[in-house]
C-alpha cells in the first residue's frame, strides 16, 4: 500500500478537536501578520527549527489560527480546545513518512506564503537530532 502515499494530499483540513492528537512540541509561530500597520505582506520563506518536547511519532505539522483583535480580545481555534466557536478548520501538513522523535530532538521545517496560502514541509535534510 505504500506506493499510494504518493497520491495522498500534502495537507488535510479538518476539525481535529474530536481526535486524539499528541502534541510533540510547544506551540510556535510560523508567520505573523499586522493588518493594521501594513497593507501588503510580501511573500516569505523561512526555515524553522522546532525542539521536540515529547516522545512520539510525528506525522506532520498542525496549524491553527490566532487573531488578536485588540489588546484584550482574541480568537483562536486551537486543536486541543474541545469546543471552539469556529467554522475555520485546522490544517495538518503531512510529512512524507512518520518520524519517531523524543525530547531533545529537533526538526527543521520550511514554511512559505505567497499572500494567499501557507505551505509547510519538512526540510528534506532534516533528521531528528
> How does pLDDT run across 9-62, given as a tens digit for each residue?
888 887 777 677 888 999 999 988 887 776 677 889 999 999 999 999 999 999
Look up the pTM and report it. 0.82
* Domain map (residue ranges) of the chain: 2-122
Q: Is the separation of the CB atoms in 38 and 31 below 8 Å?
A: no
Q: Is the separation of the CB atoms in 43 and 112 below 8 Å?
A: yes
The hierarchical CATH code for the domain 2-122 is 2.70.160.11
Q: Round to whole Å and give the CA distance between 80 and 15.
A: 10
Amino acid at each position: 500500500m505504500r506506493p499510494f502515499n504518493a497520491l495522498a494530499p500534502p495537507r488535510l483540513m479538518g476539525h481535529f478537536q474530536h481526535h486524539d492528537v499528541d502534541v510533540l512540541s510547544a506551540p510556535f509561530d510560523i508567520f505573523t501578520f499586522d493588518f493594521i500597520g501594513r497593507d501588503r505582506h510580501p511573500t516569505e520563506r523561512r526555515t524553522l527549527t522546532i525542539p521536540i518536547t515529547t516522545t512520539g511519532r510525528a506525522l506532520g505539522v498542525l496549524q491553527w489560527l490566532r487573531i488578536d483583535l485588540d489588546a484584550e480580545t482574541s480568537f483562536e481555534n486551537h486543536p486541543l480546545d474541545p469546543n471552539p466557536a469556529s467554522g475555520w478548520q485546522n490544517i495538518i501538513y503531512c510529512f512524507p513518512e512518520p518520524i519517531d522523535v523524543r525530547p531533545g530532538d529537533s526538526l527543521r521545517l520550511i514554511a512559505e506564503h505567497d499572500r494567499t496560502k501557507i505551505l509547510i514541509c519538512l526540510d528534506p535534510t532534516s533528521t531528528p537530532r
